[in-house]
Amino acid sequence: MQTERSPLKPPYQRVASHMNLNNKDIWLGIGVIAFGVMLLTVAIPDHVSSPSNVRALVLAPTFWPTIVAYMIVALGVVLVASRLIDRPVSASDETWNGDGIGDELIHGWARLLAMAVLMVGLVVATPILGMVLASMITFAAFSIIVFSPRPVTSLIVAVVLPLVLYAFFSHVAGVAVPQGRFLTLP
């Protein structure tokens, strides 16, 4: 009587795969750190101009790109540190059996395609609906695409975040935010 073979690799090969996943994450983290440092040292200073008469630091054109660049560097450091501590990497059976084709891979490509369509939709919808309403719809759709574990929180953020950003940029920073044909905010 023959027994069916498990699609999983033996434990010693799983450990090797686990180490490969950790090494990839470490290199990815190093790449993210390098990208953030490049933003801080080259891209922002050379390509984002800031007038000298800005009345508040948060209104300077270089402020938010610099904050985002520092966040990118911090996330890269967190990724490298978490893999050096050797926190377990969760992976599905499709990852371990090495065939490269599994439901998760297909669903991942489908989500990537859906995100590309969503971004094109945002660009097309912004002149018609306005930045705020188009962002709300995009964020809500994004939460659906990535299967958000907290859909109610995602919906609240999808509504509140664009409104708060609109209030800041429109009323505090004095930056015009694109209004739509159907909805004009004060």
> Containing domain of residue 142, as a range?
101-180
Backbone angles phi, psi at 51, to 5 degrees: -70, 155
Claim to verify: residue 55 and residue 134 sit in the same structural domain: no
Residues 9-31: tens digit of each pLDDT: 544 444 444 456 568 888 999 99
Q: Tell if the pTM clears 0.75, that is, is over it.
A: no
Claim to verify: residue 145 and residue 82 sit in the same structural domain: no
pLDDT category at 93 given cuts 50, 70, 90 is very low
- Classify residue 90: in a domain, yes or no: yes
Residues 53-87: tens digit of each pLDDT: 877 777 788 888 999 999 999 999 999 998 888 65
Compare 93 and 108 and report the one with higher pLDDT: 108
Claim to verify: residue 20 and residue 88 sit in the same structural domain: yes
Q: Name the maximum alpha-carbon separation found in the chain.
A: 84
Claim to verify: residue 31 and residue 84 sit in the same structural domain: yes
Residues 28-41: tens digit of each pLDDT: 999 999 999 999 99
- Classify residue 128: in a domain, yes or no: yes
How high is the pLDDT of residue 64?
84
